[in-house]
Amino acid sequence: MARCSRFFKDSGRRVLGVDPAQEIAERTRASGIPTVVEFFYPNACRPDPREHGSQALITSNNVIAQ
């Protein structure tokens, strides 16, 4: 997961990762950041607020690299 996710988490913010790669998601979870395994579609940007809370900011990293 991107360093910015760790920065937000270390700043006391709730963070939810979204990544389609299972292996990367598992490493991200192991670092303490909950992560949803799916592509970054609109529904991935709207996770269930009862489970993950509401969102104030959405960032992305390495989305257009390919």
pLDDT over 70, % of the chain: 79
H helix intervals, 1-66: 3-10, 22-30, 49-52
**Residue 60 to residue 4: CA distance in whole angstroms:** 9
**Residue 22 to residue 50: CA distance in whole angstroms:** 24
Give the burial class of 28: count Cβ atoms within 10 A of its Cβ; 0-12 exposed, 13-18 middle, 19 or more buried.
Answer: buried
- pLDDT higher than 80, residue 46: no
Instruction: Name, in order, each residue with C-beta under 8 angstroms of 27's C-beta and a sequence gap of 6 or more.
Output: 1
Instruction: Label residue 47 by pLDDT band (50, 70, 90).
Output: low
Instruction: Label residue 23 by pLDDT band (50, 70, 90).
Output: very high
Residue 30, pLDDT score: 93
pTM above threshold 0.85: no
Residue 2, pLDDT score: 59
